[in-house]
Amino acid sequence: MNISQKTSMAGNVSGAAGPISSLSKLQSLNGLFAIYKKQGPTSADVLNKFKDTLLREAGVQYPNSRKRKKQYLKLGHGGTLDSAASGVLVVGIGNGTKMLSTMLTGSKKYMAVGELGKATDTLDATGTVIMEKVFEHITRLDMEEKLKAFTGDIMQVPPLFSALKKDGQRLSVLLKKGHQVEAKPARPVTVHSLTLQEFKPPLFTLDIECGGGFYVRSLVDDLGKALSSCAHVKELVRTKQGQFTLQDHVLHEEQWTLQSVVGALQPCPEEDQRTDSPRSPQNAT
């Protein structure tokens, strides 16, 4: 029985030699790289779409089943971005998924646009406005002074609408189902740097570098309260995670190909002992 007949009977891989070779190469990859997450879809949705794209290129045909897809390709991401946020989403492939814990706890950078005078239930622009307060009394110097209190090792209460879980379910899902959810206790987080880039009330722009477990939405909400007003996040972009930057390393949707992944991949340490920074997808070969 030839290869074409075997794969036809299996019903899941193209009979052409090219796709079979592509699938084998795809399954042999181990390491980290970064893709671009746009506003709207969840991080899980983006990862699933990325996986579908690679498997289709490799000639894999399968039912719309998460279990079946997992059998073909092991992928994971290194930290959830809110649906309304965009930017760097670090992806682990193969044994690279074991390295994702360092992405969860490591340094991240964000650009956040906040809006003074309005608070929402989700702490961002996707939510319902639940409070409005005056903000005209706030000056740039006022905000810069208050930001000092949010730098370094601080305590922070996570948002109710978040990926944190209770009894195995995300708090955001429980809230949408109408369940009563108590706020999680304040927990220690680290802010490495926090600067005010632009101040044009009611809008302001922050540049943030922080450690794992930090919520920009909580920061902006707390900042509004500290200024005797209120605020929410209007726009959020993750510009850096670990060594991966938005400018140099992310694969945009039109670059979601095996060739681009190979070119951008940072191999697992046991496979490649080099300590240089990740390769830019523009240099993929």
**Token pair 């193969």: residue:** 94
CA 206 and chain centroid, separation: 18
Of 105, 150, 113, which Cα lies nearest the Cα of 241? Answer: 105
Beta strand ranges found along 143-223 (DSSP E):
152-156, 165-166, 169-170, 187-200, 203-210
Phi–psi pair at 260, nearest 5 degrees: -70, -40
Q: Evaluate whether 123 touches 115 at the Cβ level (below 8 Å).
A: no
Of 171, 127, 150, which Cα lies nearest the Cα of 225? Answer: 150
Which entry of 82, 124, 221, 222 is annotated as an active-site residue? Answer: 82
- The answer to whether 248 is a known catalytic residue is no
**Token pair 């709207």: residue:** 40
**Token pair 């991401």: residue:** 77
- Alpha-carbon gap, residue 203 to 114, rounded angstroms: 6
Q: Evaluate whether 215 touches 232 at the Cβ level (below 8 Å).
A: no
- Alpha-carbon gap, residue 184 to 169, rounded angstroms: 14
- Alpha-carbon gap, residue 165 to 158, rounded angstroms: 11
* Peptide bond between residue 269 and the one before it cis (omega within 30 degrees of 0): no
Q: Which residues does the annotation mark as catalytic?
A: 82
